[in-house]
Amino acid sequence: MKKKLTLLIFLFPIVIMAQEIKNGALIFDIGKNKREKQRVQDSIDRVQDSLKMTQPMEEEPSDEQKQAKRVKEKKEQTSITQEWRKEGIIKAIAHVGINGAQIDGDGYAGYNKIGLDAGVGALFRFHQFFSVLMELNYEQKGAQQKFTQQNNQGVIDSSSRQLYRVGWDYIEVPISINVQDKKLVMFSLGLCPGVMVRYKERTEAGQDDTNNPPNGQPNKFDLSGFAMLNFVIQQHYMLGIKFDYSFLPIRGAQYPGVSKIIDEHNNVLTFRFGYVFDKTSFKKK
């Protein structure tokens, strides 16, 4: 039985590979399958070649067609890059905000003086990403002492309450260069000249020191630099944050031996809300 099984195992590949029998003998042709596959592939190639010959050849565009295509592509590109012109080159902006102010050089720290920031302006857009902004603002700046003194038992002593306050208001004309990213963000750098229109000061004891401050009257003119970041919301609305610092001294330092700063300078942090007027603002819905 084992001999028969072994014989079948050896004869099985021969039966598979046998292609034809001639004169009672098995004739093997291992390369026949390959030749058959090659003939089938040659037939497929001939059919494909005939189909290509029957298909109409595409005509090469003429010079006029090529020129018209280039002009069309250029117009489309120009339309994309100058889409901002459709909204208007000049836009009006109104804003209102809150100032957190302090005076560097007065011996106190913290943006404790809360004031108003309000104004109007005009934005001149001369490029897809660049513009110039000019504003007319009313700004309330100054300083304020936040804390009060306590006695030995930790109780606030009303008789020694610290009431240091400085309030000076300005009319300012800030001018800035703006970089815009589409309609989402606008970053500004600029200069801000201003004139003081109101001034009031009192000591820690609450005494009015406006007419005779210990370190002299403040300068009426101020020149500061500022950086501002605005986030555009729904095309017309903007939320922004602004940092403003005086280049010129307002007056001498109040406590020269204590303060590290020689002179007094305005230091202001502003949070503001703005509205942008353009051509789309007045379209009928």
Residues 27 and 101 in one domain: no
34-66 exposure pattern, b = at least 16 Cβ within 10 A, e = fewer: eeeeeeeeeeeeeeeeeeeeeeeeeeeeeeeee
Domain that holds residue 23: 2-54
pLDDT for position 280 = 65
When pLDDT is cut at 50, 70 and 90, the band that residue 51 belongs to is low
| Amino acid symbol at 94 | A
Residues 116 and 253 in one domain: yes
pLDDT for position 128 = 81
Q: Quote the distance between the C-alpha of residue 277 and its chain's center.
A: 21
When pLDDT is cut at 50, 70 and 90, the band that residue 94 belongs to is very high
Residues 47 and 111 in one domain: no
Query: pLDDT digits over 1-43, tens only?
Result: 555 555 555 555 555 554 444 445 545 455 556 677 677 677 7
Residues 188 and 115 in one domain: yes
60 falls within a domain: no
Angle formed at CA 97 by CA 94 and CA 102, multiple of 5 degrees: 135
When pLDDT is cut at 50, 70 and 90, the band that residue 214 belongs to is confident
Residues 172 and 274 in one domain: yes
Residues 154 and 249 in one domain: yes
Residues 43 and 113 in one domain: no
Is 250 a residue whose pLDDT tops 80? yes
Mean pLDDT along residues 196-218: 85
- State the CATH number of the domain containing residue 95: 2.40.160.20
Residues 122 and 232 in one domain: yes
Query: pLDDT digits over 68-77, tens only?
Result: 777 666 665 5
Given the structure tokens 């306590």, which residue do they identify? Answer: 150
Given the structure tokens 């102010």, which residue do they identify? Answer: 101
202 falls within a domain: yes
67 falls within a domain: no
Angle formed at CA 22 by CA 17 and CA 24, multiple of 5 degrees: 95
Q: Which of 34-38, 51-55, 179-183, 219-223 has the highest mean pLDDT?
A: 219-223
Tell me the Ramachandran region of residue 133: left when phi exceeds 0, alpha when psi lies from -120 to 50, beta otherwise.
beta
106 falls within a domain: yes
pLDDT for position 26 = 47
Q: Please say whether the beta carbons of 187 and 148 come within 8 A.
A: no
Query: pLDDT digits over 119-170, tens only?
Result: 999 999 888 889 999 999 999 999 988 656 566 665 655 555 678 889 999 9
Residue 76 three-state SS: helix
16 falls within a domain: yes
Give the span between the Cα atoms of 98 and 113, in whole angstroms. Answer: 10
Give the span between the Cα atoms of 110 and 170, in whole angstroms. Answer: 20
Specify the number of domains making up the chain. 2
Residues 176 and 232 in one domain: yes
167 falls within a domain: yes
Residues 105 and 232 in one domain: yes
77 falls within a domain: no
Q: Please say whether the beta carbons of 172 and 192 come within 8 A.
A: yes
Give the span between the Cα atoms of 76 and 135, in whole angstroms. Answer: 35
Mean pLDDT along residues 232-243: 90
- Mean pLDDT, the chain, as a whole number? 78
Residues 128 and 253 in one domain: yes
63 falls within a domain: no
